[in-house]
């Protein structure tokens, strides 16, 4: 369903999609209606369990698998991820300026599309691992404290020299200092109101005096290099991982004539639509590595298993976990293939992986199982166990074999004499390995396989 999204669920059977080869529409709807990860009746919510308890322990298992099968690279990004859900719930948020306007928010740390770890977020309960007011006595707000939690989940953060790329929601001087104590570098944009940012840079950001393209103003605060760089707009940022004076040549596109800073930027390009220009290495690295979580969102959205209508609040969370497992599996297979045969030249590797996975699952469902399984039989027949044990069965009009119990009403024969008709019911269900009919209800299945 993620490969071939259709508006109506019944179209998957009317159009003969691969799922119709595995099971019938009626069977699928029955499974979909009864499907649950954790039954609140047999396994109710325990004290102090989080609000996403309905997807546990699957969420913990997927998280551990994501961390066990991937070695993070040196450049990681921390960003938010949204799960579309329009139900009335105190845990969802509304973000009218985002591609997904309403749903669940998740904080994630990604490595070029691979989601290594995440934290659940609720408008009512806050961020996972951060209690209300838990950072009151520290210099970090909850928005910066969640970055510290994700950074500490990395293997050996002090020795491997990671660099985190952050947007202006997270970056400030106290966070850069705290990450520096862990041996983790920072590169990110920031806001004029960010804590610890020098006032002269904040004032220069708000100044109306035009600046030349490429203008760079720097200031150092607590070992964090804060800067303002004039690109199409004035960019505020800070870093502890790069030297701001180091530059690199990169092709840049000329902005449109209607751009707000066209008068500053367009004269540099002249008549060229693309031109090689010198930019700071810190800016170039930010452009290349900041999309670690956004790439995962793009891969997930292209083949998502999430459907618009969900009558259970936990189902979007389950489908998100399923999509993350699929995307991470694809990236693992891509890296493994590149190590064996080199980089692929195709442009549809993700689609090919999804198609191969579907074919493998369909082939697995078509493979006959070596275990005893209950299947529907083409014709009705008497239960093999009932006949063998002379119980609840008697063929019609064979009075010499009177055994079992009376399961029918007493009726008269043609001569007016009363006679007990001891006859069992025929069944259309049995064992695929034994190739015998068995009662679908009762204990005939268990007793037959103990013989």
Q: Enumerate the β-bridge partners of residue 109.
A: 78, 117
Domain boundary among 290, 310, 330: 310
Structure tokens at 329: 């599996």
CATH number at residue 124: 3.90.350
In a domain, 204, yes or no: yes
Give the separation between CA 264 and CA 255, rounded to whole angstroms. Answer: 10
In a domain, 66, yes or no: no
Let me know whether 306 and 432 are in one domain: no
In a domain, 298, yes or no: yes
**Number of separate domains in the chain:** 2
Let me know whether 294 and 433 are in one domain: no
Q: DSSP readout, 3-35?
A: SS--SSTTHHHHTT-GGGGTS-HHHHHHHHHH-
Let me know whether 201 and 285 are in one domain: yes
Let me know whether 168 and 246 are in one domain: yes
In a domain, 316, yes or no: no
> Rounded mean pLDDT of 64-77?
94
Give the separation between CA 372 and CA 365, rounded to whole angstroms. Answer: 15
- Summary mean pLDDT of the chain: 84
In this predicted structure, the answer to whether residue 294 has a pLDDT above a threshold of 90 is yes
In a domain, 48, yes or no: no
What are the E-state strand segments in 66-159? 75-84, 93-94, 102-111, 114-122, 126-127
Least confident of 13-17, 133-137, 235-239: 133-137
Let me know whether 249 and 117 are in one domain: yes
Let me know whether 186 and 287 are in one domain: yes
Structure tokens at 197: 């940012």
Give the separation between CA 321 and CA 327, rounded to whole angstroms. Answer: 10
In a domain, 179, yes or no: yes
Let me know whether 99 and 196 are in one domain: yes
In a domain, 271, yes or no: yes
Stronger pLDDT, 79 or 384, i.e. the higher one: 79
Let me know whether 162 and 303 are in one domain: yes
Domain boundary among 279, 310, 341: 310
From residue 439, alpha-carbon distances to 371, 376, 382, 422, 435 in Å are 18, 11, 8, 17, 13
The residues, any chain, with a CB within 8 Å of residue 397's CB and separated by 6 or more, are: none
- For the stretch 67-83, what's the b/e string if a residue is b when 16 or more beta carbons lie within 10 angstroms of its beta carbon? eeebebeebbbbbbbbb
Give the separation between CA 323 and CA 225, rounded to whole angstroms. Answer: 38
Tell me: cis bond preceding 45? Omega within 30 of 0 counts: no
Q: How many Å separate Cα 369 from the centre of its chain?
A: 30
Report whether 12 contacts 6 (CB < 8 A): yes
Let me know whether 388 and 239 are in one domain: no
For the entire predicted model, the pTM comes to: 0.78
In a domain, 318, yes or no: no
Domain boundary among 276, 310, 344: 310
Binning pLDDT at 50, 70 and 90, where does residue 424 land? low
Give the separation between CA 437 and CA 447, rounded to whole angstroms. Answer: 13
Ranked by mean pLDDT, the top range of 263-272, 301-310, 416-425 is 263-272
In this predicted structure, the answer to whether residue 192 has a pLDDT above a threshold of 60 is yes
Let me know whether 288 and 392 are in one domain: no
Q: Which domain range does residue 390 map to? A: 374-448
Q: What is the pLDDT of residue 403?
A: 39
Report whether 268 contacts 277 (CB < 8 A): yes
Percent of the chain exceeding pLDDT 90 equals 47
């Amino acid at each position: 369903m993620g490969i071939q999204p259709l508006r109506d669920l019944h179209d998957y059977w009317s159009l003969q999609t691969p799922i119709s080869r595995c099971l019938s529409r009626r069977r699928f709807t029955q499974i979909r209606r009864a499907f649950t990860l954790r039954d609140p009746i047999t396994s109710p919510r325990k004290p102090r369990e989080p609000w996403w308890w309905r997807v546990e322990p699957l969420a913990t298992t997927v998280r551990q698998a994501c961390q066990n099968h991937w070695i993070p690279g040196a450049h990681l990004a921390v960003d938010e991820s949204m799960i579309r859900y329009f139900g009335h719930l105190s845990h969802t948020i509304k973000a009218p300026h985002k591609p997904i306007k309403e749903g669940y928010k998740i904080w994630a740390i990604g490595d070029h599309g691979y989601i290594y770890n995440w934290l659940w977020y609720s408008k009512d309960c806050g961020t996972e691992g951060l209690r209300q007011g838990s950072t009151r006595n520290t210099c970090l707000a909850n928005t910066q404290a969640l970055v510290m939690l994700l950074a500490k989940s990395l293997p050996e953060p002090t020795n491997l020299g990671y660099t985190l790329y952050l947007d202006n929601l997270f970056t400030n001087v106290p966070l850069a200092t705290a990450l520096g104590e862990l041996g983790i570098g920072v590169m990110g944009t920031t806001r004029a109101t960010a804590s610890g940012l020098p006032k002269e840079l904040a004032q220069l950001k708000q100044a109306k005096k035009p600046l030349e393209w490429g203008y760079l103003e720097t200031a150092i605060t607590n070992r964090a290099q804060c800067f303002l760089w004039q690109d199409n707009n004035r960019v505020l940022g800070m870093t502890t991982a790069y030297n701001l004076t180091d530059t690199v040549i990169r092709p840049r596109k000329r902005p449109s004539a209607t751009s707000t800073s066209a008068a500053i930027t367009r004269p540099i390009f002249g008549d060229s639509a693309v031109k090689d220009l010198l930019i700071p290495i810190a800016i170039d690295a930010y452009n290349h590595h900041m999309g670690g979580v956004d790439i995962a969102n793009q891969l997930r959205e292209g083949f998502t298993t999430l459907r618009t209508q969900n009558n259970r609040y936990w189902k979007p969370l389950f489908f998100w976990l399923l999509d993350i497992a699929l995307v991470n599996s694809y990236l693992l297979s891509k890296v493994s293939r590149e190590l064996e045969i080199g980089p692929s030249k195709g442009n549809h590797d993700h689609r090919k992986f999804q198609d191969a996975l579907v074919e493998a699952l369909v082939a697995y469902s078509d493979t006959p199982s070596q275990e005893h399984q209950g299947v529907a039989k083409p014709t009705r027949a008497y239960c093999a166990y009932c006949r063998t044990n002379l119980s609840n069965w008697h063929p019609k009009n064979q009075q010499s074999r009177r055994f079992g119990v009376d399961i029918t009403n007493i009726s008269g024969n043609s001569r007016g004499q009363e006679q007990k008709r001891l006859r069992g019911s025929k069944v259309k269900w049995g064992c695929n390995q034994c190739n015998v009919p068995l009662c679908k209800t009762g204990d005939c299945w268990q007793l037959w396989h103990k013989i």
